Amino acid sequence: MKTILIPTDFSENSWNALVYALKFFRDYECIVYILHVGSIAQSSTLGNSFAFPNEPISPDLRKKLNALFQRIRKLPKNKNHRFIALQEYGNFVNALRKVVSDKKIDLIVMGTKGASGIKKTVVGSNTGDVITKIQCNVLVIPEKAEFNLIQEVTFATDYNLFYTNAILECLTDILNTTNAQLQVLQILKSGQTILKNQKENKDFLFNFLNETVPKITSHEITNENTIKGIQEFMAEHNIGLLIMAAKNLNFLQQLFFDSTIEKLSFQIKIPLWVLHE
């Protein structure tokens, strides 16, 4: 059984993330925790397929939760999915970290507005903090992303870090779920060559993947701008999902948190899955 956490502010972005997650995991038995971080006291859960926080809860929040669960009930029924509403209070990241630990969450799914959102970063400040500060896999769903059959998946890497079995097993699980072709992508600048440690990390990565993934190809693209190179590659290959490792924090920050992103007019339109150990 998978445990999924979906933070909600009752916006269309958080709703879109929820719908995407339910479609992606349509064949899995899941407990879906829907978390609102506010000012009321921590709540317990009760019920069967749908559960709400116990009192105390503000009338306004209860109204919003009721409306959200009514909307969920209108989706195609899936007996494998159970929904539980949670209420936490205080700092957003601390609240999520607590739920991840208490509920043994496998995956956080978050919606984002993209480059036009908070602080004009690609993934927004809350999502960026969750990716970098919480030890849990995160699936970021862009504002207008719709779930479609995923045929191509990109794993972007610079091969500077050794990927542990925990990372590789998560990657394999995603590929088994989607049955997609895996494209492992490295962006090089002109004249740049792969160093010895990068080659060793690459060899280990492919030795593992070749035993577990039936459809895999390697790409080395030359582009002076890493972000633009990834964007162009994904567009050319009709990529449905971008995967990266949180362990490679410098690479992630370069791609998604650099202040020059706004000047490049780059907006991520493909779901991003960040893997933690």
Please determine whether the domains at 2-142 and 152-275 fall in the same fold group of CATH: yes
**pTM, rounded to two decimals:** 0.85
**56 prior amide bond cis, ω within 30:** yes
Q: Beta strands 272-275 and 137-142: pairing type?
A: antiparallel
91 touches 7 (CB < 8 A): no
Predicted pLDDT at 273? 93
For residues 37 and 49, what is the distance between their CA atoms, to the nearest angstrom?
22
* β-strand pairing of 241-245 with 137-142: unpaired
* The predicted structure's pLDDT at residue 187: 87
How far is Cα 6 from Cα 139, in angstroms, rounded to an integer?
A: 10
Superfamily of domain 2-142, CATH level 4:
HUPs (3.40.50.620)
The rounded distance, in Å, linking the Cα atoms of 117 and 115 is 5
* Run of H or E including 243: strand 241-245
Q: Where are the domains of the chain?
A: 2-142, 152-275
Check: CATH 3.40.50.620 for 152-275?
Answer: yes
| Predicted confidence pLDDT, tens digits, the chain (277 residues) | 899 999 998 989 899 999 999 999 999 999 999 998 875 443 444 333 455 555 456 778 888 888 999 999 999 888 999 999 888 878 888 999 999 999 999 999 998 764 444 334 444 567 778 888 899 999 999 887 889 889 999 999 989 888 888 899 999 999 989 999 999 999 888 888 888 999 999 999 999 998 888 789 999 989 887 778 888 898 888 899 999 988 766 666 665 555 443 433 334 678 999 998 7
pLDDT at 91: 85
Instruction: For residue 240, give Cα distances in angstroms to 36, 74, 167, 247.
Output: 29, 26, 20, 22
Query: What pLDDT is recorded for position 42?
Result: 39
| Spatial distance between the Cα atoms of 8 and 264, rounded to a whole number of angstroms | 30
